[in-house]
Amino acid sequence: MIRTLRQVDAFARNALLEGLRNKVLYAVLVAALAALGAASAFGALSLHQEERLFNNLVFAIGHLFLVALAIYQGVNALHREIESKTIFTVLSKPVTRASFLVGKFAASVGILAVCWALMFGAKALTGLALGYEIGALHLATYLGSLMQLVLVLALAFFFSAFSGPLLSALFTFGLVVVGSLTPQLADASRQFANEGNPLHLILDVALYVVPDLEKLNLSYELATGIEVGWGYLLHALLYTGVTAGLLLGFGYLIFSRRDFA
């Protein structure tokens, strides 16, 4: 057990350092921060809705950039090792594929957490400079966003365990869209069921299988000022951990049988 944890730690450290040296990461961050600045300026031009528009725009733009980064990081974390052939050297040593996969995932979560912290810090500093209130509700909303990013990353890792980066990105993006529309899909399923349309069975399966990202979306609460209890956040954290663990577990089952020859 201790040996496995040391392997995970070694893989995570190396992958984290490698990821932080990736120029794409900084390009995305610069673009995101520039977009946040533009959103802040646009919010200041609105009439009597400056703070609300600022919160909505800055959160939405920052989250979109981070989701794109999560997909990019997830689909390339394993592919880079396979394409550069370094995975043959790594797996020829007395290490397990599970520790390799978990280490890569942990490093990717760390990279996303750093970017998330920069986004939240930039938003908080800008908001305070503009005289807006930045409190616990903002932190809760961004924590929900971070948990969404972890699930997006887990989806990308799952697909990259058996497919190339392009297909993995497309599959992940598709499920992100579905997972963000769960309330609408649930309504459509009920309507189809009332009409006797068998399509509701497909929607029910999708709602059962696809991670419910909308459950972690607290942007409405942020916009309307509805407080979020810590109990909800703990439940969301448990949901995120279990779902990400299942995705990684299924991904490992496929990855462990994959032939890289």
State the first-to-last Cα distance of the chain, in angstroms, to the nearest integer.
Answer: 29
Four-residue CA torsion sign, 180, 186, 188, 189: positive
CB atoms within 10 A of CB 209: 9
Copy the structure tokens of residue 194. Answer: 């009332």
Distance in angstroms (rounded) separating the CA atoms of residues 145 and 138: 11
| pLDDT tens digits, 16-67 | 666 666 676 677 667 767 766 666 666 555 556 677 777 787 888 888 888 9
SS3 225: coil
Task: Return the pLDDT at 184.
Answer: 92
Least reliable range by pLDDT among 19-33, 127-141, 145-159, 243-257: 19-33
What Å distances lie between residue 26 and 22, 89, 191, CA to CA? Answer: 7, 29, 45
Total domains in the chain come to: 1
| pLDDT tens digits, 198-241 | 888 988 998 889 999 999 998 888 878 788 888 899 999 999 99
In what helix (H) or strand (E) does residue 140 lie, and over which residues does it extend? Answer: helix 136-160
Give the mean model confidence (pLDDT) for residues 137-153: 92
Domain of 209?
1-260
Least reliable range by pLDDT among 1-10, 89-98, 217-226: 1-10
Q: State the greatest distance between any 2 C-alpha atoms of the chain, in Å, as a whole number.
A: 64
Copy the structure tokens of residue 190. Answer: 């009920």
Copy the structure tokens of residue 99. Answer: 């520790």
Nearest to 255 by CA among 68, 113, 105: 105
Give the mean model confidence (pLDDT) for residues 143-154: 95
SS3 227: coil
